Amino acid sequence: MRVDWLTKLQHFLQTVAFCLAVAAIQVGFRPATAWAPTVAFSLCIGLTTWGIVDIGRHVLPSARETGWPPGLKGFALVVVGITAGFVLGVPMGDAFSRGLGLYPAGVRVTVDYRSAFLITLLAGMAGTYYFYSRSRSSYLERKVGEAQQHADEARLKLLETQLEPHMLFNTLANLRVLIGVDPTRAQLMLDHMIAYLRATLDASRTPVHSLQQEFDRLRDYLALMAIRMGPRLAYELQLPDTLAQVRVPTLLLQPLVENAIKHGLEPQVAGGRLTVSAREDHGTLRLEVRDTGAGPGDTATAGSGFGLEQVRERIRTVYGPRASLQLQAASPTGTDVILTLPWEHA
């Protein structure tokens, strides 16, 4: 198992703090006890125990869930660590105390081995359980993070598969009607549809693509709609060259454009104009779909909100609170949908 030395340094400092706490408790219960040698004993015993147990566990085969040897091997390691901490730590603490002159002058000092062993045993078990619990908690947190990531990816895939049939059924229905009344225009519409589906198939293989690809796909789709609606539909796509390679989720604008046509422009006898634009706005990417249709207040043309909800869910999953979708009435008529996304270049 690979040793993370930064984590080991954190464990070392935590062990030092734990040893100081144990020494403070000893002095607290026995005020006559000298502070300095108590600290020396606690540090020598605690660090020896920690070194053998926490570093020694990387020598033995360990469980992936905890990072500790399973079963009797783990138990034996703890027993060896605590025993070594007592056997080696006590004489080391005594030697440091005598060498550094930590014992009170004129007082004959004897080590209470029974109390030292009991404290070593309890403190060693508590410290071992603490580090074991931390390792297991870290593993569970990583698994929860991985599960959340898989769930987000699955949800995005589900949203994408829900969007594509919605577009496809509308387009096929339009084509079926046109074949009967105008075969020439139906042929042109079919050519645009093939180009659109080919581009959509390419986009389905990746969760994001460039704005240029997104706008190219919208251009094919709007060309299909313009054939069916004739002069009732005018459209404009505004994509600055500087934003062409900015990455966005695939098919993000498609349901917004479909909504604008279906609920805004188609119900009107005179049709209207649709504008799709992109621009940078104070360090964010602002995408806007504006139509001159009936407007969001017209209950006769209001839909179920399926497309808007799908877009909201996708940007919430991908960007979290950094993205937003705003729907408002346009002036003098129509609907304005504004998507604000974090600024991300290709």
User: Concatenated DSSP letters for 228-272?
Assistant: HHGGGEEEEEE--GGGTTBEEETTSSHHHHHHIIIIIITTSTT-E
Tokens of 321: 């609170």
- Residue 35 — very low, low, confident or very high, per pLDDT cuts 50/70/90? confident
| Better-scored residue on pLDDT, 315 or 166 | 315
Longest dimension (CA), the chain: 116
299: left (phi over 0), alpha (psi -120 to 50) or beta: alpha
- Residue 77, pLDDT above cutoff 80: yes
**What is the spatial distance between Cα 335 and Cα 343, in angstroms, rounded to a whole number?**
25
Burial 77-90 (b: 16+ CB within 10 A, else e): bbeebbbbbbebbb
3-state secondary structure of 310: helix
- Residue 296, pLDDT above cutoff 60: yes
User: What dihedral do alpha carbons 29, 30, 35, 39 form, nearest 10°?
Assistant: -60
pLDDT score at 308: 84
- Residue 157 — very low, low, confident or very high, per pLDDT cuts 50/70/90? low
| Better-scored residue on pLDDT, 232 or 158 | 232
**What is the spatial distance between Cα 93 and Cα 46, in angstroms, rounded to a whole number?**
11
pLDDT score at 133: 85
The answer to which of 1-15, 34-48, 133-147, 332-346 has the lowest mean pLDDT is: 133-147
For tokens 């219960």, the residue is 29
Average pLDDT, the chain: 82
